[in-house]
Chain A
Amino acid sequence: SAVISQKPSRDICQRGTSLTIQCQVDSQVTMMFWYRQQPGQSLTLIATANQGSEATYESGFVIDKFPISRPNLTFSTLTVSNMSPEDSSIYLCSVELAGGRDTQYFGPGTRLTVL
């Protein structure tokens, strides 16, 4: 497996502001993903963070709202822009290891509350 860290672990933000969440892995990985888990719900994939190119977004998620960067094979950021209370969720990054094919490992998550 891999050691995955996320910063911040939690934050409380005001409506209309933006928050950038960082995901750091202790080894080079092929794929990195960002998920949202709304209160009491399951996980929904936001996008796949591609190294060296634009992220691939799932239906219902757009780059203007959730810009993603992945400058190298161990780091990615997700920004939640122009936040509203509906953005209050846990945001998780996950990784797929080289040779891991179809198994994803998750970070501890960032718990975001928007007032």
Chain B
Amino acid sequence: GDSVTQMEGPVTLSEEAFLTINCTYTATGYPSLFWYVQYPGEGLQLLLKATKADDKGSNKGFEATYRKETTSFHLEKGSVQVSDSAVYFCALSAISGAGSYQLTFGKGTKLSVIP
């Protein structure tokens, strides 16, 4: 079945450091790929998405490129802020046997940014 593997956390960075959170996937067909963010005590927010190979999703300074050849969708940000402290989930969406799109999530990576 489909699966998503993302780098284990927690990750602790100083403010203005460069961020990479690795994500690889296994899927049949051509899934859409997503990054969701969960701030402390809140639900999930869609951060960015990409729907086909070589697409780059970007939002709030974060970006990720859909790499079909390496089945990866790594999240990057050039300069993190304390307010970026959250848990980040990589996910893929593919059609289920019932004909609806279903999300498969990675385990999440907790990021802490210190001043």
Asked whether A31 is an interface residue with its Cβ less than 8 Å from the other chain, the reply is yes
By CB atoms of chain A within 10 A, which of B43, B46, B108 has the most? Answer: B43
Interface on chain A toward B: helix, strand, loop, or mixed SS? strand
Query: Which residues of B, 37-51, contact A by the 8 Å Cβ criterion?
Result: 42-46, 49, 51
Query: Which residues of B, 7-63, contact A by the 8 Å Cβ criterion?
Result: 32, 34, 36, 42-46, 49, 51
Digitize A29-49: 1 where CB-to-B-CB distance is under 8 Å, 0 elsewhere.
001000000000111010010
- Asked if B43 and A41 sit within 8 Å, CB to CB, the answer is no
- Asked if A102 and B101 sit within 8 Å, CB to CB, the answer is yes
Report the separation of the CA atoms of residues A42 and B107 in the bound assembly, to the nearest whole angstrom.
5
Interface size on A, residues (CB 8 A): 21
Which residues of B are found within 8 Å of A107, using beta-carbon distances? 43
A interface residue numbers (CB < 8 A to B): 1, 6, 31, 41-43, 45, 48, 56, 92, 94, 96, 101-109
17 cross-chain CB contacts under 8 A = A42-B89, A42-B105, A43-B103, A45-B103, A48-B98, A48-B100, A56-B98, A92-B44, A94-B103, A102-B32, A102-B94, A103-B49, A103-B93, A104-B93, A106-B36, A106-B45, A108-B42
